[in-house]
Amino acid sequence: MIYIDTHTHLYDEQLNPDEDAMVQRAVNGGVAKMYMPNCDSSTVSSMLRIADKWAQNCFPMMGLHPTYVKDNYKQELDSVKQWLGKRKFYGVGEIGLDYYWDLTYKAQQIEAFELQIDWALEYDLPIIIHSRESIQDCIDIVKKKQNGKLKGIFHCFGSSIIEARQITELSFYMGIGGVVTFKKSNLPEVLKETGLSNIVLETDAPYLAPLPYRGKRNESAYIPLIAGQIATITGMPVEEVATITTRNAEMVFNK
């Protein structure tokens, strides 16, 4: 079985101590490809170090994360733009809106999101969307920008069937991670109704580890646990979950 982790912060400090062993565990477990979303200019060098070292398995993306939109956001956006012109990236992310932590920079978050979507279109790259208490605004912006060429993932999807339907209509995908294994998750209901046609797998490591590691450090090697839970929910063999979600991820990241 071949899996793809569409969202993993392999460069996170929490993962540094056994970075190589961790990537190797994931690869050994069938997680052949790992896509790394960027946060801001301070995370680029460690992300690229991993991408260069594991060039067959680990792929960097470029973007300014909404919770990192602060007073210096224009310089940060300049840095994103420059990097996009400098080397190959596999997506623009993670970008989006976060109304949970801080609303001070809401207008700047929207500006940064829209601008980075335009760059994704310019470079023909998928976008990786972070939405927290902001999913409808994110959907509306994507709707406005969708010219038939925009593609991407609503990362860490946890909303209802209403949002899931809108995302599917936009030909976008939903990233499902460890939350699907939590008892209170509404994802089983959503997945039963939507099926897997627009679903990709992600860990969001080092955060949101699936059961039985909930609350501990997450890593890409746990992707099969997420696939296993989706198999249980949908009644599909896990091989089929792997095949469909890997094919979906390839649709997002390759032409």
The residues binding Ni ion (CB under 5 A) are 204
Residue of this chain nearest to Ni ion (CB atom): 204
Residue closer to Ni ion (CB basis): 157 or 233: 157
Instruction: Assign 3-state DSSP to the chain and report helix, strand, coil percentages, each to 5.
Output: 50, 15, 35
Residue closer to Ni ion (CB basis): 125 or 233: 125
How near is the Cβ of 37 to Ni ion at its closest, in Å? Answer: 5
Rounded CA-CA distance 225/191 in Å is: 16
Helix (H, G, I), strand (E, B) or coil at 131: strand
How near is the Cβ of 202 to Ni ion at its closest, in Å? Answer: 8
How near is the Cβ of 4 to Ni ion at its closest, in Å? Answer: 15
Residue closer to Ni ion (CB basis): 40 or 204: 204
Task: Kindly state the tokens that stand for 197.
Answer: 């046609």
How near is the Cβ of 237 to Ni ion at its closest, in Å? Answer: 29
Q: Give all strands (DSSP E) within the chain, no chain letters.
A: 3-5, 31-36, 58-60, 92-98, 127-132, 152-154, 173-176, 199-201
Rounded CA-CA distance 109/96 in Å is: 7
Residue closer to Ni ion (CB basis): 219 or 233: 219
